[in-house]
Chains A and B, each alone.
Chain A
Amino acid sequence: MKILSALAATVFALAVWQAVVSLTGLPKFILPGPALVAETWWQNRWVIAEHTWITAVEVVIGLAFGTALGVITALQLANSRAARVLVQPMLVFTQALPVFALAPLLTLWLGYGLWSKVAMAVLIIYFPITSSFFDGLMRTPPGYLDLARTMQASPRAVLWHIRIPAALPSLASGMRLAAVYAPIGAVIGEWVGSSKGLGYLMLLANGRAKTDLMFAAMLTLGVFSILLHLIIRRATARMAGEAR
C-alpha cells in the first residue's frame, strides 16, 4: 500500500513535470523533460555511480563521527553542571552561525579531499544529535529517579541503567534528523571545493549548461537521501521503542 502510493506520487510528479515542459516549451538547457533526464542518467550511469559512491562515503563517515561526537558531548553535558555552564552557550552560538559559512574554511584547513566534506557533515549533524540526546538524558521521568534513590543506586548505575535507555528514543529522533542533514552537509562541502562527488558533478554539469545531467545527479542525490533516511529509520526502530 505504502509502495503503491509512493509509486502513484512519483508518476504524478513526472506527469506534472512533463506537462510543464510541454506547455511552456522551455528550452532543454533551462528545464529538460523527464524522458531526457532519464536517458542522460542511463548514458552516464557509471559516472554518476562513481560520484554517488564518493558522496555516500563522506555521508556515512560523517554520520558515524557526528553521532559519536554528539553522544559523547551529550553524556558529558548531562553528567557535569560545569560542562553545561561552559559548553552549552557555545553550542547554541555555533548553531546560530550558518554552517555554510564555514565550508570554505574547512576546505582551507582540510584540503579538497574527503575530510573537509566529512567535517561539513559532522558539523551539520552534531548539534541535532547532541541536543536531542541531551534533552532525553535530562528528561528522565522523575519517578524512575525516585525509585532508584530508594534503591541506593549510584549515579553511574542510574545513568547506565535508567537515564541512557530512557533517552534512546530521543537519540533515535536526532539520528533520523541527522540522516536528512548529513547529505546536505557533504554536498555543500563539495560545492565549495572538490573534484568528486554528486555536488561536484551537479556544479560541473550546471557550468557546462548540461542541465539534464545536473537533474540526473540531483535526483540521484534525492533518492540516495531517501534511502539513507529509510535505512536509519529501520536501524533506530528498536531504540525508538517501535519494534519491541
Chain B
Amino acid sequence: MTQAPDLTISGSATIDGAPLFAPLTLTLGAGQWTCLLGGSGVGKTTVLRLIAGLETGAAFNGQITAGDAQPVTSRVAYMAQDDLLLPWATVAQNVSLGARLRGEKPDLARRDRLIERMRLQDHLNKKPGELSGGQRQRVALARTLMEDRPIVLLDEPFSALDARTRADMQDLAAEALAGRTVLLVTHDPAEAARLGQSIVVMTAQGLTPCEPPSAPAPRHVDDLETLETQGALLRLLREAA
C-alpha cells in the first residue's frame, strides 16, 4: 500500500433542486478511522459515494481533494452493507475479483494469506450461498483488503449482522485496516464510539465533531468512556431530530 493521504470533501448537494446538505467540510485524517454518524436519510451514503466517484441522485457543488494532491477515486476500496459477493463465484474468486476485472493476474499467495487471516481457509471453494452472514462479510473484507488501497470507504458494512458477529467484525476490520484512511458511515452510536479515531455527527443542520474516547480503537464494548461517548452521540442524534 502507498502512504495513506488525508482527504477533504467540502461543498453542498441538492436533490432535484432541494438542498440535501448545506455547505460542509469533512476531513478524513491520514491513516485514521473517521466515523460519520447520522440518522437515515441525512446524506451519509451520498457523501461516501461522492468520494468513491459513484453515481448519486444528488448534484454536488464542491470539491474532493487528497492531501497529497493525487487523484482520489483510483485509490479507494469500497465495502457496503450488502456484501456484494458474486453468487456464482467461489470465495477465492470473489476475493480476487478486482484483479480479474482489471485484467491483471491476481497475487494468489496474498489472496490465500488474506483468506487465512479472515479465518476462511475451510471455505475457499464454497459459494457465498453456503456461508453465514458473518462469514460473507469476512469474505467482503478480504476482497477489500486484497485491493490494498490507501483509502477505504465503509458504508454500514456491519449493520445487518447480529450483535456478537458485529462486534467481532468491528475488531477484525479495525485491526486489518489500521494505517489506512478509513471513512466508516454508520447510524450506530455504539459502533462510532468503538471505532472512531475521529467522530463526526451528521444532521440536517450540518456536521458536529465529537471528541472520541481516549482508549485506542477498537475499544472494549464495556469501556466506560466508550459507553459515555455512545450516550453523548445518541443524545446529539436525538436533539437534531
Contact = CB atoms under 8 A, between A and B. Distances in A.
Given A143-B80, A146-B54, A146-B78, A151 B101 contact: yes
A149 B88 contact: no
B74 interface: yes
B52, B74, B101, B103: residue with the most chain A Cβ atoms closer than 10 Å: B101
Measured as residues with beta carbon below 8 angstroms from the partner, the interface class of chain A is 20 to 34
A241 B128 CA distance: 12
Contacts of A162: 86, 101
A151 B102 CA distance: 7
B136 to A, nearest CB: 13
B86 to A, nearest CB: 7
B88 A165 contact: yes
A157 B86 contact: no
B54 A150 contact: yes
A155 B129 CA distance: 27
A241 B100 contact: no
A153 B78 CA distance: 14
Interface in B49-99: 49, 52-55, 73-74, 76-78, 80, 82, 84, 86-89, 97-98
Interface of B: 49, 52-55, 73-74, 76-78, 80, 82, 84, 86-89, 97-98, 100-103, 127, 129, 147
Interface of A: 143-144, 146-154, 157-158, 161-162, 165-166, 168, 241, 244
16 contacts: A143-B84, A146-B80, A149-B54, A150-B52, A150-B53, A150-B54, A150-B73, A150-B77, A151-B98, A152-B74, A153-B101, A154-B102, A157-B100, A157-B102, A165-B89, A241-B87
